[in-house]
């Protein structure tokens, strides 16, 4: 079995859905499992619904209607007959969403988040499955929440691999196009969980691992894995082959093409990963596989914006020792601050972190009792793998460099725009 993953950009409108059909016609769809994200910016739109829900905003209903309107327009563009059962199926999901908003009693933001945003994937796969059937490709719509089981860490759940493997093994139909959701799982109480933002790639890897798949292909709007994000760097080049190790390094530092968790399960079973273009599906793209060295050894640029640079120093000029660092990282873990860079001296300790859950102020209130805390918001972290002087200069030009760290293969630079 081959596992394909299509992200939100590939199914953002009716033309995108039709293009997925065209891609499958060109590359084959028998014995294929397709993992699909929410359509376009649906997750963002559902995040607005969540905000309005907790703010008790009068805009709540209109924000829900906007999501419905967006999907309904796609349905009208795809299906000539409004009596097609897909309209009823999609409307049933929206009714379930509205029922949850009306009857939920939980004040837990992360729990509510997962229950609501999951409708993006549920509805996108419903539409895609019905359209494929409409075009003559028989599909099996699969609710992934019945298979991928996790703990109850809502918004960033950990997979229960043993139970997930047991659920998946032998339970997917062969010789048919299976369509399921990325990003989602469920806990022991069958409440929906999510695997972290951009977790659909990870879903594809989980399924491939448990099924012993032939390969995983991530279909993108770029030719493959580039050595830099074309939005930020001119003349970005395609990387034809990458080893698992190099891809894991790039993912660890934040390369957006491959989700950080995706590669480990694939490496364990040596399942190749392909990153290919859904615009030109017959092009080779990038292959990530065993023993595939980076070709060529180009500097690879990774950009993480909206970072927070925190500098901690001891109030009494005493050394910052292992026990202090352990305490600091314990707080970062507690408040879910993702550390992307560390630099320390005898009496100071600097970290560049991502505060995606908005918890820094609470963390800082505790840190400030023991340390002098200085921080700079909205900095940018550049990571350059296989750096050279020219690559570093490209990053540093017209910026204030706040921190620089160099190892054998990697340079990291924290900057503030001038």
Annotated binding-site residue numbers for substrate: 43, 121
Listed as own residue / partner, the contacts of 376-379 with beta carbons closer than 8 Å and 24 or more positions apart are 376/308, 376/309, 376/402, 376/416, 377/308, 378/305, 378/306, 378/307, 378/416, 379/307, 379/308, 379/309, 379/352, 379/414, 379/415, 379/416
Distance of CA 415 to the CA centre of its chain: 25
Q: What is the DSSP string of 329-364?
A: HHHHHHTTPEEEEEEE-SSEEEEEEE-TTS-HHHHH
Backbone angles phi, psi at 413, to 5 degrees: -130, 125
Strands 177-181 and 184-186: unpaired
Q: Which residues pair with 275 in a beta bridge?
A: 218, 286
Collapse the DSSP code of 307 into the 3-class scheme (helix H, G, I; strand E, B; otherwise coil) and give the result.
strand
Element (H, E) at 399: strand 399-406
46: nearest Cα among 105, 104, 121: 121
Collapse the DSSP code of 371 into the 3-class scheme (helix H, G, I; strand E, B; otherwise coil) and give the result.
strand
Element (H, E) at 100: helix 85-103
CA dist., res. 318 & res. 313, Å (int): 9
Q: Which residues pair with 242 in a beta bridge?
A: 288
Residue 132 CA neighbour count, 13 Å, CB half: 24
C-beta of residue 387 within 8 angstroms of C-beta of residue 297:
no
Annotated binding residues for ATP, written as ranges, equal 5-8, 231
Annotated binding residues, written as ranges, equal 5-8, 43, 121, 231
**Residue 380 CB-density burial (10 A; 0-12 exposed, 13-18 middle, 19+ buried):** buried
CA dist., res. 80 & res. 77, Å (int): 7
C-beta of residue 262 within 8 angstroms of C-beta of residue 256:
no
CA dist., res. 215 & res. 285, Å (int): 14
């Amino acid at each position: 079995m081959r596992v394909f993953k299509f992200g939100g950009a590939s199914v953002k409108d009716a033309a995108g859905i039709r293009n997925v059909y065209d891609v499958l016609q060109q590359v084959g769809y028998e014995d294929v499992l397709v993992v699909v994200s929410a359509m376009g910016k649906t997750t963002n739109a559902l995040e607005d619904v969540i905000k309005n829900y907790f703010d008790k905003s009068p805009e709540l209903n209109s924000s829900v209607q906007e999501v419905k309107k967006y999907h309904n327009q796609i349905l009208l563009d795809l299906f000539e007959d409004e009596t097609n059962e897909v309209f009823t199926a999609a409307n049933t999901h929206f009714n379930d969403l509205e029922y949850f908003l009306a009857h939920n009693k939980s004040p837990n933001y992360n729990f509510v988040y997962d229950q609501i945003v999951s409708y993006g994937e549920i509805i996108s796969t419903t539409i895609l499955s019905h359209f494929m059937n409409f075009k003559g490709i028989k599909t099996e719509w699969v609710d992934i929440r019945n298979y991928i089981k996790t703990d109850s860490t809502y918004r960033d759940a950990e997979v229960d691999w043993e139970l997930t493997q047991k659920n998946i093994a032998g339970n997917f139909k062969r010789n048919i196009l299976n369509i399921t959701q990325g990003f989602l799982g469920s806990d022991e109480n069958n409440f929906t969980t999510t695997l972290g933002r951009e977790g659909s790639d990870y879903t594809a890897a989980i399924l491939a691992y448990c099924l012993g798949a032939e390969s995983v292909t991530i279909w993108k709007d770029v030719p493959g894995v580039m050595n830099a994000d074309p939005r930020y760097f001119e003349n970005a080049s395609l990387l034809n082959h990458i080893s698992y190790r190099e891809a894991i390094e790039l993912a660890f530092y934040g390369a957006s093409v491959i989700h950080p968790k995706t590669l480990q399960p694939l490496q364990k079973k040596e399942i190749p990963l392909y990153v290919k273009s859904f615009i030109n599906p017959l092009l080779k793209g990038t292959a990530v596989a065993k023993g595939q060295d980076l070709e060529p050894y180009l500097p690879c640029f990774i950009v993480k914006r909206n970072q927070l640079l925190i500098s901690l120093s001891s109030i009494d000029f005493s050394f910052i020792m292992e026990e202090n660092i352990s305490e600091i990282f314990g707080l970062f873990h507690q408040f879910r601050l993702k550390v992307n860079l560390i630099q320390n001296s005898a009496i100071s300790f600097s970290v560049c972190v991502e505060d995606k859950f908005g918890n820094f102020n609470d963390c800082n209130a505790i840190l400030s009792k023991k340390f002098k805390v200085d921080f700079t918001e909205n900095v940018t972290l550049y990571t350059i793998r296989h750096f050279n002087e020219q690559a570093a200069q490209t990053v540093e030009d017209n910026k204030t460099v706040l921190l620089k760290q160099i190892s054998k293969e990697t340079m990291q630079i924290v900057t503030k725009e001038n």
